[in-house]
Amino acid sequence: MRILIQVVLATVLALAAISGAKAQDADLRDLINGLAVGGYSETEEQIAALAATGDPAVVPVLEALAEGDVYARKSDRMVFIAEKVGSTYTLTDPLTGETVDEVASGAIDKIKVNNRLRRAIRTALGALTLMSPDAGTRRAAAEAIFQSGDPDAIELIDAAIEQEQNPSIAKLMREARAAAVLNSDLSDEEKVAAIEVIKTRSGRDSLSLLIPLTEVEGPVGAAATAAVSAIEGELAMWDAAQNVWYGLSLGSVLLLAAIGLAITFGVMGVINMAHGEMVMIGAYTTFVVQEIIRSNAPWLFDSSLFIAIPLAFLVAGAVGVAIERGVIRFLYGRPLETLLATWGISLILQQAVRTIFGPTNQQVGTPSWMSGSFEIGLLQITYNRLAIIVFALIVFFLLMAFLKRTPFGLQMRAVTQNRQMASAMGIRTPWVDAMTFGLGSGIAGMAGVALSQIDNVSPNLGQSYIIDSFMVVVFGGVGNLWGTLVGAFTLGIANKFLEPYAGAVLGKILVLVFIILFIQKRPRGLFALRGRAIEA
Amino acid sequence: MVMDRGMVRRTVLAATLGAGVALGNMMPAAAQDDTIKVGILHSLSGTMAISETTLKDVMLMLIEEQNKKGGLLGKQLEAVVVDPASDWPLFAEKARELISQDKVAVVFGCWTSVSRKSVLPVFEELNSLLFYPVQYEGEESQRNIFYTGAAPNQQAIPAVDYLMDAEGVERWVLAGTDYVYPRTTNKILEAYLKAKGVAEEDIMINYTPFGHSDWQTIVSDIKAFGSAGKKTAVVSTINGDANVPFYKELGNQGIKAEDIPVVAFSVGEEELAGIDTGPLVGHLAAWNYFQSVEDPANEEFIATWKEFTGNPDRVTNDPMEAHVIGFNMWVKAVEKAGTTDPDAVIDAMIGVTVPNLTGGYSAMMPNHHITKPVLIGEIQDDGQFEVVWETPGLVPGDEWSDYLPDSKDLISDWRAPMSCGNFNVATGKCGGKGT
């Protein structure tokens, strides 16, 4: 997107350079050089002056300024767009786009920007790019004017609306115009009409425009008050939908974290305190995969997670098998000792990762297709959360299918239901135990890949999920995968409906209390396993 | 003699242990005369390792550098590193071990306030020195402790002032992790904002548990709170681990710094190392030091640090600078006193002035806090901060906040006649509130 804008701007710039008179360019150059004079407020005035020229030639320098790429050469205080290449900076003329010079970092001063300047630049760019041939740029420009509500832009917008072909951008422009009208000193009739336009937009940013107006006397205040209550009514409805969405999203995280435990603890009955560390190992596998991709094959970055998923399964699964063979198999039937031993293993794994990778967070990048969000009505849905929900459900159903439809799944169920009988039928029970534990751990590792997208990748990653995982498995019913699914989503949604009223801390406590009471009533959880397996 | 295998193992074990104990006992005895021991009490495992390990490393570097310069009082310095494992009671045990067993002359350590509160009685009882390098909530001044991090008036209050004046903020979200530092800081800030005429309904306070990772609801609450037509800002006292998911969610929900800026008191270069800062450009942090500050002393420190760690990507941060200042102050005070005797050093500390890394000087004041510049930085897309504002001069640390009714009458002065950490100017007596 940005590249597209830049290309378009470069074209605009080239055209301007050909047609523009030399004298005008010299004036512009002086204005641009003025950016380096004085502090933030002087720079802000200069940005306004540049915007006032209405010349699209100043767009690149303003964009570069917002990015922090504009520097002043110390020797002659000329202002350039600079790009760091190796240890030196390449200076580009802001008007012609020609490379002028290559200097060391000591020879130039950065023109600093702060939030206020970024806002000023955004407003200026909005006014300058309203007529851009690129639809995306026009949309962004209209949005920028809506945010700033700059009354000076009304004439520009009127002209832009006339020409606009795209109906959705035209609507956005009318809304931007309305926002500008509300900040202007136009007549009350105009303002009331503007309020009606903004009312149709709904959403939070309309509210923030209208709420201050409710205190105005006369027809404007009345119209604003009516519009605010209409928008608030609509928002309240969407808020409920949003809570459900957040709940589903939290539930999917819980499901991912718990699903591996549902195998090791739920099916095998091993109280595995090192479960969280399997999640962590999965997250670190993602980190290593991304590091390798970054240095060797950067074009693969967007698919790094798909590469990491099977690898995380294998690495965490292998560690799981090693733990089962090395420690847990000696402790079957002794839950207390298993608990202590796996707790010890969890500490060892944490410290091992800390020694290898260091104690600080590692940066796991988000592929571009997982960044950002889209909106359904007033409900904002972020791509990464959506991806995690889908991923959690895929993992869940694959696991179900694996247990129900494959020979190994059959053997696994046979061993956990009646070990002696399974053994008598010729199943190698120790091997099945190891593989089952490996499967549970491997799934935890896959969860780690997903969690690396929303949480810290640090040695402590696993600890924050271990309690929640046990909670979900116990609540859903030990030994039942469907229970884990329903349990995770129930707890997620309950938590998210409580949070706005009770706060995050109290919300969590209430959920815990609820689970304790629930377990008193139904000790075997939501979906209790029936039959001899429980008694065995 | 016939032994079974188990017995052999036990014997070997016992012998090794015996040798170890003997060695452990002999080493200090031999070393005692020609070295001065410096205790380092930072968690190297557990939740806090993420922040504290770096401080251990920086102490080791400082000690090595000092030894290269010829040590102190003609003796070499020797670091004694212990690991309190992010376990608060263990901090007290390890502090006791450092002071009474290892006979260290001084201890540099702690990060969380609760760990400091846990070791405080130990330092008082055994009369030793602790340098505490982290910004904290104030409301404390103790004879054996030197606070080289920021007090609330050296971080929180100037940050709020900046937002009010430069950004015109009128509506405030105070978001924090649920423990003593955010709660006290927010109490002070709330009182301060109200004194500045901010209405009750324009302040939203929100607490989250440690390590909170699901920020969806809170971020959308902040968005809703910010849509009342007044410029809104978030003042974040969210603790280390929870920050990464918080900032990721801000980026995802598209909250831009130009619209709702977040100013953080616990987010530094180290915390940002784990995030893609592209969407966060312009969010703020208030500290007394940033790695990006252009100053020869800072550049030298960064170069030494990168060389010491052997990693050109390692970053520096504010608590590291606090340790640099604290260590240099201690060295100077010991030289002034001519001994490492705690009482002499504690008296010599007050008034000691050393250069900080941002081009100024820090002085130890009678209340055991130091003077610092306050810097406001904006996050850049390379994970560094760019200073957008700084206090014109140095700000002396104010341990007892002037904005809390309980502590506004208290002052602290550890110089000879008064020698009191909580002198009440209203009643004229030592021993108001607190320790």
Going by C-beta distance under 8 Å and a sequence separation of 6 or more, which residues neighbour residue A273?
Answer: A339, A342, A343, A345, A346, A466
Strands (E), B104-231: 106-109, 130-132, 145-147, 171-177, 203-208
For the segment A43-66, the average pLDDT, to the nearest whole number, is 86
Mean pLDDT over the full length of chain A: 86
* Pairing verdict, β B232-237 and B262-264: parallel
Task: Please tell me which of A44-48, A83-87, A463-467, B233-237 the model is most confident about, judged by mean pLDDT.
Answer: B233-237
Q: Are B276 and A464 a contacting pair at CB < 8 A? A: no
Helix, strand, coil shares of chain A, percent, nearest 5, are 75, 5, 20
Which pLDDT value is given to residue B432? 65
Which letter does DSSP use for residue A311 in this model? H
- Decide if pLDDT at A161 tops 90: no
Interface test with B, best of A1, A83, A87, A114 (most B CBs within 10 A): A114
- Residue A221 domain-assigned (yes or no): no
- Residue A40 domain-assigned (yes or no): yes
Q: Are B241 and A456 a contacting pair at CB < 8 A? A: yes
- Residue A229 domain-assigned (yes or no): no
- Residue A183 domain-assigned (yes or no): yes
- Decide if pLDDT at A226 tops 50: yes
Which pLDDT value is given to residue B234? 96
- Decide if pLDDT at A275 tops 70: yes
Hey, what are A69's tokens?
């790429």
* Same-domain status, A181 and A328: no
Q: What is the distance, to the nearest Å, from the Cα of residue A535 to the centroid of all Cα atoms in its chain?
A: 46
Terminal-to-terminal C-alpha distance of chain A: 62
Distinct helix (H) and strand (E) counts, chain A: 21, 7
* Same-domain status, A424 and A469: yes
Hey, what are B206's tokens?
């929100």
Q: Are A210 and B229 a contacting pair at CB < 8 A? A: yes
Please report, rounded to a whole number, the percentage of residues in chain A having pLDDT higher than 70: 94
Which among A216, A251, A270 is the end of a domain?
A: A216
- Of A166-170, A523-527, B121-125, the poorest mean pLDDT is in A523-527
Q: Sorting pLDDT into bands at 50, 70 and 90, what band is A15?
A: low
- Residue A410 domain-assigned (yes or no): yes
* Same-domain status, A106 and A173: no
* Same-domain status, A527 and A403: yes
Of the candidates B54, B227, B244, the beta carbon closest to that of A208 is on B227
One-letter amino acid at B28 equals: P
Hey, what are A410's tokens?
């059959």
> CA torsion angle for B55, B57, B62, B64 (degrees, to 10)?
160
The more confident residue out of A529 and A452 is A452
**Closest chain A CA to residue B248:** A454
Chain B residues with CB under 8 Å of A118 CB are: 257-258, 282
Which pLDDT value is given to residue A3? 60
Q: Sorting pLDDT into bands at 50, 70 and 90, what band is A7?
A: low
Going by C-beta distance under 8 Å and a sequence separation of 6 or more, which residues neighbour residue A225?
Answer: A214
Query: Which pairs from A391-396 meet CB under 8 Å and 24+ separation?
Result: A391/A252, A391/A256, A391/A450, A392/A252, A392/A253, A392/A255, A392/A256, A392/A259, A392/A450, A393/A252, A395/A256, A395/A259, A395/A443, A395/A446, A395/A447, A396/A255, A396/A259, A396/A481, A396/A485
Say which CATH superfamily domain B156-264 falls into: Response regulator (3.40.50.2300)
Q: Are B211 and A358 a contacting pair at CB < 8 A? A: no
Q: Are A116 and B218 a contacting pair at CB < 8 A? A: no
- State the Cα–Cα distance between residues B193 and A115, nearest whole angstrom: 22
Q: Are A456 and B253 a contacting pair at CB < 8 A? A: no
* Same-domain status, A449 and A525: yes
Which pLDDT value is given to residue A57? 84
Which among A69, A103, A120 is the end of a domain?
A: A120
* Same-domain status, A370 and A417: yes
Chain B residues with CB under 8 Å of A360 CB are: 50, 53-54, 270, 273-274
pTM reported for the whole predicted model? 0.83
**Closest chain A CA to residue B221:** A500
Q: Sorting pLDDT into bands at 50, 70 and 90, what band is A2?
A: low
Instruction: Walk along chain B (435 residues) and give the pLDDT tens digit of each residue.
Output: 444 444 444 444 444 444 444 444 444 444 456 899 999 999 998 878 888 999 999 999 999 999 999 999 999 999 999 999 889 999 999 999 999 999 999 999 999 888 999 999 999 999 999 999 999 999 899 999 999 999 999 999 999 999 999 889 999 999 999 888 899 999 999 999 999 999 999 999 999 988 888 899 999 899 989 888 889 999 999 987 788 889 888 888 888 898 899 999 988 888 887 777 888 899 999 999 999 998 999 999 999 999 999 988 889 999 999 999 999 999 999 999 999 999 999 999 999 999 999 988 999 999 999 999 999 999 998 889 999 998 888 999 999 998 988 888 888 999 888 888 888 888 888 876 544
**Complex ipTM, two decimals?**
0.82
**Closest chain B CA to residue A120:** B258
Q: Are A385 and B216 a contacting pair at CB < 8 A? A: yes
Name the β-bridge partners of B81: B40
Of the candidates A68, A207, A454, the beta carbon closest to that of B213 is on A454
Interface test with A, best of B258, B263, B314 (most A CBs within 10 A): B258
Helix (H, G, I), strand (E, B) or coil at B72: strand
- State the Cα–Cα distance between residues B36 and A387, nearest whole angstrom: 57
- Residue A234 domain-assigned (yes or no): no
Chain B nearest-CA distance from A159, in A, is: 28
Which pLDDT value is given to residue B12? 45
Hey, what are A108's tokens?
């130039």
Q: Are A115 and B257 a contacting pair at CB < 8 A? A: yes
Q: What is the distance, to the nearest Å, from the Cα of residue A175 to the centroid of all Cα atoms in its chain?
A: 28
Degrees, nearest 5: CA angle B339-B343-B348: 65
Of the candidates A119, A358, A365, the beta carbon closest to that of B258 is on A119
Chain B nearest-CA distance from A461, in A, is: 9
- Of A204-213, A450-459, B113-122, the poorest mean pLDDT is in A204-213
Going by C-beta distance under 8 Å and a sequence separation of 6 or more, which residues neighbour residue A135?
Answer: A166, A169
- Over the range B17-50, which residues count as b (16 or more CB within 10 Å of their CB) and which as e? eeeeeeeeeeeeeeeeeebbbbbbbbbbbbbbbb
Host H or E run for residue A82: strand A79-85
Encode pLDDT of A311-363 as tens digits: 999 999 999 999 999 999 999 888 899 999 999 999 999 999 999 998 888 88
Domain span at A109? 2-120
Interface A:B, Cβ pairs < 8 A: 154
Chain A residues with CB under 8 Å of B49 CB are: 354, 359, 459
- Of A5-14, A18-27, B257-266, the poorest mean pLDDT is in A5-14
Please report, rounded to a whole number, the percentage of residues in chain A having pLDDT higher than 90: 31
Which pLDDT value is given to residue B25? 42
* Same-domain status, A434 and A473: yes
Chain A nearest-CA distance from B422, in A, is: 33
Which among A120, A149, A178 is the end of a domain?
A: A120
Chain A nearest-CA distance from B68, in A, is: 27
Which pLDDT value is given to residue B265? 92
- State the Cα–Cα distance between residues B126 and B128, nearest whole angstrom: 6
Interface test with B, best of A360, A378, A451, A512 (most B CBs within 10 A): A360
- Decide if pLDDT at A502 tops 90: no
Q: Are B45 and A508 a contacting pair at CB < 8 A? A: no
Domain count, chain A: 3
Of the candidates B212, B270, B282, the beta carbon closest to that of A504 is on B212
With beta carbons less than 8 A apart as the criterion, state whether A147 and A128 touch: no
Q: Could you please report the per-residue DSSP string of B342-374?
A: HHHHHHHHTT-EEE-TTSSEEEB-TTSBBEE--
- State the Cα–Cα distance between residues A516 and B12, nearest whole angstrom: 49
With beta carbons less than 8 A apart as the criterion, state whether A197 and A206 touch: no
- Residue A65 domain-assigned (yes or no): yes
Which pLDDT value is given to residue A14? 53
**Cα-flanking dihedrals φ and ψ of residue B302, to 5°?**
-65, -40
> CA torsion angle for A227, A232, A237, A243 (degrees, to 10)?
150
- Residue A231 domain-assigned (yes or no): no
